[in-house]
Amino acid sequence: MNRVLYVDRHWESPYALSAFVALEEKGLAFEAKEVALEKKEHEGAEYRARTTRIPCLVEGDFWLAESSAIAEYLEETYPSPRIFPESIQERAVCREIQAWVRSDLLPLRQERPTTSIFFAEHRAKKPLSAAAERSRDRLVHAAERLIPAGKTSLFGSFSIADTDLGIMLMRLHANGDPLPAPLAAFAEAQWSRPSVEKWVERVRPPFE
């Protein structure tokens, strides 16, 4: 089956990264195709994602956007290896974490965008604002409760929520913002996972 994952041209979207990792962890062959968002390519007639967003997974004539939907589709269609926990309750918490990092902590996401992770010239030059500091504190508080002591996975073995929480923590860690050592270790462990390294090591075009 022809399988394609559409990603942003600069390979900096945290959501495209999550979908990319889901495919890699499943061991599924796919082609990555770049979409130039700045040129509105995602709004063209040939791009058939219902929401016009990236990432978008294409299998044959089936198009599916939104990274969390892609992860759940892959888990149900290709059950092994798992990217969601086996326990029903842990799966629910995994989805809770995914929803949270996508919908909350906006000041932190704005002031520490993923461009600052993947492009050295975009690293933060200003301290966090008061609003972003509150977001950081909430992130740290939640992560300390979520991550088992001394562990680098949330549920005993890899889940896609590890990647998603790792991305959020890396917004701080990559920019040199204070982060408790166990949380920094968790973020670094996600970044050293082979599926994530394939994304991180990608050669990226400069912003025009």
Question: What are the structural domain ranges in the chain?
Answer: 3-81, 88-194
Using a pLDDT cut of 70, give the percent of the chain over it: 98
Mean pLDDT lowest among 42-46, 114-118, 160-164: 42-46
Residue 152 and residue 147: Cα distance in Å, rounded? Answer: 7
What digits encode the pLDDT tens for the residues 107-157? 999 999 999 999 988 898 899 999 999 999 999 999 999 999 999 999 999
CATH of domain 88-194: 1.20.1050.10
Q: What are the two backbone dihedrals, phi and then psi, of residue 48, each rounded to the nearest 5 degrees?
A: -100, 15
Q: What beta strand segments (E) does 49-108 contain?
A: 56-59, 62-65
Nearest to 186 by CA among 159, 147, 131, 158: 147
Q: Is pLDDT at 39 greater than 80 in this prediction?
A: no
All residues at 6 or more sequence positions from 201 whose CB lies less than 8 Å from its CB, including other chains: none
| Predicted local confidence at residue 41, as pLDDT | 66
Task: Give the range among 10-24, 34-48, 184-198 with minimum mean pLDDT.
Answer: 34-48
**Under CATH, which architecture does the 3-81 domain have?**
3-Layer(aba) Sandwich (3.40)
Contacts of 159 (CB under 8 A, 6+ apart): 82, 83, 84, 85, 90, 94, 153
Q: Which SS3 state, helix, strand or coil, does residue 107 take?
A: helix
pTM of the predicted protein model: 0.94
Q: 190 with 17: CB under 8 angstroms?
A: no
Q: Which residue, chain included where needed, has tokens 């990792």?
A: 21
Predicted confidence at residue 46, as pLDDT, reads 81
